[in-house]
Amino acid sequence: MFRNIPEDEALATVHDAWKLGVRYFDTAPLYGSGLSELRMGEALSQYPRDEYVLSTKVGRIMLDEMEDPATRDFGEKGGLFEHGLKNKILNDYSADATLRSIEDSLKRLKTDRLDIVWIHDPAQDFYGDSWLEQFNVARTGAFRALTRLREEGVIKAWGLGVNRVEPCELTLALDEPKPDAFLLAGRYSLLDHKRALQRLMPEALEHNVDIVIGGPYSSGVLAGGEHFEYQKASPAIHEQVARIQAVAAQFNVDVKAAALQFALANPAVAAVIPGSSRPGRMAEDLAALKTTIPVAFWEEMRRQGLVAENAPLPVR
């Protein structure tokens, strides 16, 4: 996303994850204009298909026409995937486009089936004031197409893959067949979780809709990086991170461990996708999950207002 990753490094990262026991892999046509799916398909082609869960996304079609990646309009997420392929991207959440997107993804992924399909980004951060128009196209198009595929047994589950809570809340309020899960990126982390706790998390539990957390490191800033929300982090964000780091240092806690364990402590959360761009990172993540964090750390985080009063904490 933020650098030009050589193909051998990308493939090695997937193989490293497999060796460590990871069996859920997520990708999307948008990631590098199909490049992520091509590489994921190549890496996973040597493993038995029945031994892993695979998800990708719909809502964008990769065309044969080329374009300058720098000219793409990604709303608040400008500059994403400049190092990917140059295929032109067409936003389309209709039923026909959904089926075409799945067909194209199956070819790139070198597989005959998908387990989970996420409807990608019908939300404010990509579409601004017109996001409800895009959401409604998805509601009457992709929602119903994926529900039909689920009923036919073609896919096992579907949901939204978004960076905002509002599309998820709106979906749960519809008097229509419910999704199975939401992939929520960036909205349930140490830096940003209060909004999700207000309605989405309890309502997801009530409707038996799982939450998969993406971006537990908030685009990397919680893991020593410079990005938040896919852009350079602001001074205010760096100040908040510094406060978390100070508490972590006081109790000899790895911030990555705290970030992962915090996300998984909520009973609505079924899984977390930290994202790995290099071999070795997955081993760090798995070690972070097993790290013992003292209760006193979480008490201090709460005392300083760094975690919400109503946030479930990973304490026994």
Q: Which amino acids are annotated catalytic? A: 26, 31, 57
| Beta-strand pair 231-232/227-228 | antiparallel
Q: How many CB atoms lie within 10 A of CB 53?
A: 14
Q: Which residues contact 29 (CB under 8 A, 6 or more apart)?
A: 37, 56, 57, 58, 60, 61, 62, 101, 104, 105, 108
- Strand-pairing partners, residue 255, are none
Query: CA-to-CA distance for 258 and 247, rounded, in angstroms?
Result: 11
Torsions phi, psi of 221, nearest 5? -65, -25
Name the DSSP class of 140.
H
Query: CA-to-CA distance for 218 and 227, rounded, in angstroms?
Result: 8
Question: E strand or H helix at 127, and its extent?
Answer: helix 124-127
Strands (E), 22-138: 24-26, 53-58, 60-66, 87-91, 116-120
Q: Which residues contact 157 (CB under 8 A, 6 or more apart)?
A: 115, 116, 117, 150, 179, 180, 181
Assess contact for 116 and 155: CB atoms under 8 A.
Answer: yes
Query: CA-to-CA distance for 7 and 173, rounded, in angstroms?
Result: 42
Query: CA-to-CA distance for 89 and 13, rounded, in angstroms?
Result: 26
Please, what is the Cα angle at 315 between 311 and 316, to 5 degrees? 135
